Amino acid sequence: MMDQNRAKDRVGIGLLGCGTMGGEIAAAVASQAVGNAGIVAVFDEYIDGATRLAGTLQPAPVVCPTMAELLAIPDVSLVVECASPAVIEAHGATILAAGRSLLTLSSGALADTALFDRLTALAAENRCDIVVPSGALGGIDAIRSVQRLLTEVTLTSTKPPVAFSGSPGFAAWEGVEIAEPVVLYEGPARDAVKLFPANVNVAATLSLAGIGPDRTMVRVVADPASPGNVHEIEARGEFGEFTFRMVNRPHVRNPRTSHLAVLSAIETLRSYCERGPRIGT
Ligand SMILES: NC(=O)c1ccc[n+]([C@@H]2O[C@H](COP(=O)([O-])OP(=O)(O)OC[C@H]3O[C@@H](n4cnc5c(N)ncnc54)[C@H](O)[C@@H]3O)[C@@H](O)[C@H]2O)c1
């Protein structure tokens, strides 16, 4: 029999961003794959997208025209953000100051150390959580475990050119036919997330788990023959050496987003919302 004292209260989710990730997360919650949770409210700057998504859910969540209206709903205890790093800059502090926990996919925003420290302090003050899924990467658990022993961490992210279209770091290449692999960027994670905000959130996640955005080195490569969205981590230190390589299929609706990132978000949400064994965390 279930121990009622251990049962966690149902998690009321406010979904911020109703695109590829938001749609998949909402569908997983609706199908009970996440367990003890429900989508209570949705917000997207593209209100038609939010309205359309809400129409597919039962019970239908409230479609909020602003974030303030979403945060005014008492049943929202967790904001699941899948919009953009700019949204975390704009609303992250307000969400936590309102006592709501935050699960964010746009971890690139957290490479801004001042913002990260401010959000961490607000979360502690208001007794809420900041949760960052491992997203399109694997091995984050191992990196976190050896954090103090790391001397070197490098991430190489290789995607087909189309995945970079629209990024500031790709501006010089828009409309240019890329026939061979091109290194678009090489340098610290802190700058990589500004140049490729929709592509290398993983660089920020890796930095936060490891040696920070200034010491984590990132190489961004556009390769027309890339077998998918490929992320390779190399890490060294007193503990030994790690190499992780993820060859991710892009999501069918968004070539920038890997299918693994969607699955990771859903699994992180499940683990946050349900009691039970925690494997590999
Ligand atoms: N951590 C990871 O490994 C990882 C992997 C893939 C994507 N991501 C990030 O997750 C986020 C969502 O990805 P996606 O594939 O669902 O993108 P998407 O483009 O399919 O959807 C984003 C949605 O957010 C909305 N939006 C954007 N800016 C907004 C704003 N200022 N206010 C309100 N709504 C806004 C858009 O209208 C859109 O509906 C992005 O930031 C992306 O970079 C992270």
The total number of structural domains that make up the chain: 2
Q: Domain check: are 147 and 116 in the same one?
A: no
Q: Whose CA is nearest to atom 6 of ligand 1?
A: 257
CATH number of the domain that residue 229 is part of: 3.30.360.10
Q: Which atom of ligand 1 has the smallest separation from the CA of 198?
A: 43
For 147, which DSSP code?
G
Residues 119 and 18 grouped into a single domain: yes
- Ligand 1 atom at shortest distance from the alpha carbon of 132: 1
Task: Tell me the backbone φ, ψ of residue 110, rounded to 5 degrees.
Answer: -80, -5
Alpha carbons 42 and 149: distance in angstroms, whole number: 42
Q: Which atom of ligand 1 is nearest to the CA of 253?
A: 20
Strand (E) or helix (H) holding 93: helix 85-97
Ligand 1 centroid–CA 108 distance in Å is 11
Same domain, 112 and 192: no
If asked whether residues 149 and 128 sit together in one domain, one would say no
If you measure from the C-alpha of residue 238 to the centroid of ligand 1, how many angstroms do you get, rounded to a whole number? 37
Residue-level pLDDT, tens digit, the chain, 281 residues: 334 444 468 999 999 999 999 999 999 999 988 988 999 999 999 999 999 999 999 999 999 999 999 999 999 999 999 999 999 999 999 999 999 999 999 999 999 999 999 999 999 999 999 999 999 999 999 999 999 999 999 999 999 999 999 999 999 999 999 999 999 999 999 999 999 999 999 999 999 999 999 999 999 999 999 999 999 999 999 999 999 999 999 999 898 899 999 999 999 999 999 888 888 87
Tokens read off for 97: 């100051």
Ligand 1: distance of its center to the CA of 150 in Å? 31
Write down the catalytic residue from 91, 231, 251, 259. Answer: 231
Ligand 1 atom 21 nearest Cα: 19
Domain co-membership, 112 together with 57: yes
193 falls within a domain = yes
Residue 43 belongs to a domain = yes
231 flagged as catalytic:
yes
What domain range includes position 223? 140-248
Q: So what's the pLDDT on residue 276?
A: 81
- Domain assignment of residue 281, yes or no: no
Q: Do 159 and 119 share a domain, yes or no?
A: no
* Cβ of residue 20 lying under 6 Å from some atom of ligand 1: yes
Distance 240 CA to ligand 1 centre (A): 36
The pLDDT value recorded for residue 86 is 95
Whole-number pLDDT of residue 133: 97
User: Looking at the domain assignment, is residue 279 inside a domain?
Assistant: no
Q: In what order do the strands lie in the sheet with 130-131?
A: 62-63, 37-43, 11-16, 78-81, 101-104, 130-131
Question: Distance (Å, rounded) from C-alpha 49 to C-alpha 110?
Answer: 26
Residues 128 and 145 in one domain: no
Indicate which CATH number applies to the domain containing 51.
3.40.50.720
Same domain membership, residue 148 and residue 194? yes
pTM: 0.94
Q: Does residue 84 have its Cβ closer than 6 Å to ligand 1?
A: yes
Both tokens of residue 66?
């602003």
Q: 150 with 123, same domain?
A: no
The reply to whether 256 falls in a domain is: no
278 within domain boundaries: no
Residue 215 placed within a domain: yes
Q: Do 155 and 183 sit in the same domain of this protein?
A: yes
